[in-house]
Structures are given as structure tokens and as C-alpha cells.
Structure 1
Amino acid sequence: MDDLNGRTAFITGGARGIGLGIARACARAGTTLALVDIDEEALAHAKTELSGLTRTETYVLDVRDRQAYTRIADRVESELGTVSLLFNNAGVYDGISPAKMNYALWDWMMGVNVGGVYNGLQTFIPRMIEQDGDCYIVNTASAAGLATVGTGFLYHASKYAVVGLSESLRAELARFGIGVSVLCPGPVATDIVHNTQRLRPEHAPTHSQGGAAVLERAHESLNSLGISIDAVGQMVLDAIRENRLYIHTDEAVAAAVKARTEALLSALPSVLDARRGMSAGTDERV
């Protein structure tokens, strides 16, 4: 997909962080913006900033709410035209210890990070197929969806799911003319840690003092070492134009991905080993 000018983009989590970076890049490319977020105040700030570059409308939505998602999608296409660029970007982070895990936290994280992505896909893929393709979808996962690094087993699980979903969808949607990429960012200068801690469900387990300290260090690390949201936004648009499946922002997990791949390959039984096992079984029966 070379020309993004005049298209309509639907961006969840679009009021801040990576979503805002993607919105800025799209605005510079002449794309009409439908920014979707749970934070009404942040949406207002984003609209003020971006309206000078392109037509921008904002919509308050919890991506877990399927009925509301459909209503918002209908409004967007009525007000801004057919959506041909879908960015399933909304996400939350939590690094709770397995010793304190509970269902409330699981439902919340999977509901936003995986369910929110699927709700976007379920809402827009049938519409994209009906308009004969020429559309593109970007799902935001994480480098944590490629290899297990650091803490946050629930977060890792949710992002592994988004990677697998994106990989399989890319193959199946290609025949409809719909492209798919998965964004796997490393450290990015966002406020995701603090923002999502304010959104934690009422019955989520509280962090221990040590766990809270780990989260604070993660927040500081992201903002001191992470690349800018604008750099990520441009990377995303470049990947769309080049129809690339994976979008990486750095090489931070390269060693971990290599180690995981080697471990997977080494665990596969060779054809020769399988035949030897069958022969041994036959000999034993004789």
C-alpha cells in the first residue's frame, strides 16, 4: 500500500503513546483520523493537536465492549468514510507476580490486549472484504510477544497471542487484498506503566512493595531509554508501504529470540530419531 492520502484510519489507544505516534505519522501522510481511546481528556488534546494537519474526530470507547465497538465503527464510517486502515493498538501492562495472580487481572489484561484486538478485527474485517480489500491492519503486540524477557507473565501471554493471531491472519487475508503487520516494539518512551495502573480493575491483586518498585523502574527505563513515539509511528507507516509482517523498533530482544528459536528447533525430533524409535518399538514387540 503506497498512498495513504485520503484514507480513513481507525486507531485504538490513539490519544497517547504509540497510538498518538501512529496518528501523527498518518496525519502527515494526509490520512483522515478516527482516534479511539478510553481517556476523553487525552482525546481532546490529541484532536486539538492533529486537527490542524488533517480531519480528526475522536470517540470514547472501551475496546472490550463489543456492542459499543460496532456503534462507534458505524459512526466513524458514516462521518469519515470507509475505514481502510485499522490500528488495533490499545493495550495495558501489569507485572504482577504469579504468587498474587487472580481472575480479575487475567480477564482485564486479556480483555484489552487480546479481546480488544479481536473486537477490532471482527468489526472491520467483514467490511474490508466487502469493499474488495485494498486495506491494511496493524496489531500492536510487543517484543515481549516474541521472547520472555523480564517479569510480567500475563503481559507476555497476551502479546504472544497477538503475534500468533497476526501471523495466521496475514496468510488468510492476503487473498482478500488485506495486508497485516504486527508491531513488536521494544522500549518506547510512553507512560503506559502509570496509565494502566490507574485503570486496573477493582478486584485486581495489589502489588507487593518489591513489585511496585519493579514497575516504577520499568516506567523510568522506558522513558529514559525508549525511542520516541514519533519514530515508532513512522516505522509503522514504512512497514505498511513495504507490506512487512513484523515491525521491530530495535534489537533489544534479538539474543532472546535467537535462543528461543534454537531451543524450539533443538527440541524437534529428527526424522531419523523418529524412525529409530519406531524400530526400537518393533524390536521390543518381537
Structure 2
Amino acid sequence: MEEQGSPIWIDGKLVDWADASVHFVSNSFQYGFGVFEGIRAYDGEQGTSIFRLDAHIDRLFKSAKIIGLDIPYTRETIVEACRETVAASGHSQCYLRPVAYIGYGGMGLNYTGCKVSVGIAVWFWGEYLGQGKLEQGTRVKTSSYTRHHINSNMSKAKACGNYMLFQMARTDALRGGYDEALLLDAEGHVAEGSVENVFIVRDGQLITPPLTYILDGITRDSIIQLARGAGLVVREEFFTRDAMYIADEAFFVGTGAEVTPVVALDDRPIGQGVPGPVTRRLQSLYFDAVRGRDERYAHWVTPVAGVPA
């Protein structure tokens, strides 16, 4: 992450990066009660455009509904605010972070009547899993932490507090010399990375865990559509980590990770230990789509042009 000091949109106004603050006595600061999105903007065929903006903002509102947070703006207002914030940043490519949160009060674990705010920050973020990982692939370690059980948390909400688990899992993996963590569910099935959905390739077919207990990833959905559009078979089914050990290929997908090959899990090479041909093909399809180079998916990109900076 490179903080560029771009203006941050908060409750209808762009404020300086250094002035964007939340009160110490804030329910969201104290307890992690809030929801957020991660979105990317790319420099593409129509200039700077935001990838699947409508889908991300729709999920933001769904997350808020799940945890009982009432966002005091329309979806259209937040969509336009995202475009405005990117335009004001001056970045041709960037990462967006919209957050709905309680900026003050609610210390008694009761957020009734607390004012809900929305902020949108923008910064440049390169390869999330490390420079060169898109090309070379990433080394992953199965985490000792278990992905939240379906009844232990609101797994369909992209809620701020949920990410303490993922943060600990990833930090442990990094300290152990790996690039990322893989979390299993309570039954021992492969769930996801710390902030990524996972796919394996077996006999030319893609397999990914079903959405029973994991977040409905927008990049995951994009890859499924791109793969099926290219004639590939995609199956949604549970699998274990030993099935991942003997997969032909594996890769992570997510807004941050984009399409990152997984070349080793628990010090076992996946396939030949290098990014495979199916992964490479999907990388190419994905980057064509996010940059507006594939007319079939032109509706996925929202140009920033026309918004006053």
C-alpha cells in the first residue's frame, strides 16, 4: 500500500487525507461494527474505470442489512461518490475502500440511534500478495485457525470485525516465510484464503468451494462467468487440502489478489510447482475484462470520466 494523501469522501464531502478521522469513543473503532468493500479501478479502454462497481456497492448494502446497519444514503449516491473520489485522487489505477461505520457512541453494545457514516478512501495498491506473485505464483500455508462456523458469525456480510481472524491467519503465514494462509472450515474442507476465494484445476475442470459458509466473492463470480464463457467446466463442491495437494493447478482470486497462482501448499508443489496453463488463460481473460477489452463484459466497467475532480 502506498498512501498518496488522496482526498477521502466522508458523508458527502471530500476531506484531506490527514483530516479523515474517527472519534476514539466510536462503536466501530471499539468493536469492529461496520461493513466495507474492496474495489479496484483500472486504466483501460475507456480511461480509468471501476470494475464491477454496482455489484460491490450492492454487496455493501446487503452486508449492512445483515448486521443491522442502516446506511443513510442511496446506492446511487455511493456509486457516484466512488467515481468522484477516484477522479479527485488523480490516480489512473487505484484501490477503493468504502466503509459504513458508527463514528461516535454505542459504547454499551447498543448501536440504536447512533449516526451511521460512510467514508470512501482511495490509494494505489499493487500486487496484494507481493510484487511478482501474479507471474511467479505464491506459496501458501494451511492455517491453524478455522474459518468461522456458519452459525458463529455473519459469514455473508463483509463485516469489519470478521477480519481479525483473517488478519491473524495471514500474519502467522507471513512470519513463517509464506505468502498467504489457507483456512479450512469446521469440517476440515478448504474454505478460502485470508481475503481470497480459491480454485483448483483437475483434469481441465475448475473446482471451487460452494457459497455455503463463505463470502460471495465478486471476483469469484467473475472468474466463474469468464471460465464458462470460455467453455471450461466449473464445479462448486467441497474438497479437502489433500485434494488441493494433488491438483493440477490452484489459484486465488479476489479484488486484491486478482488471479494469483498458488504454486505450493504446505511445502508441497501444486502440479509442476509453476503457474499452469488454465490459470494463465483465466488471468488473461480477467485482465481483458477489467480493462474493458472484452466487449462481452463491457457492463462490468464503470468509467470515471465525466466526474468533476
**TM-score range with shorter-chain normalisation?**
under 0.3
| Larger proportion of strand | 2
Q: TM-score, normalised by structure 1?
A: 0.27
| Larger proportion of helix | 1
Of structures 1 and 2, the larger Rg is shown by 1
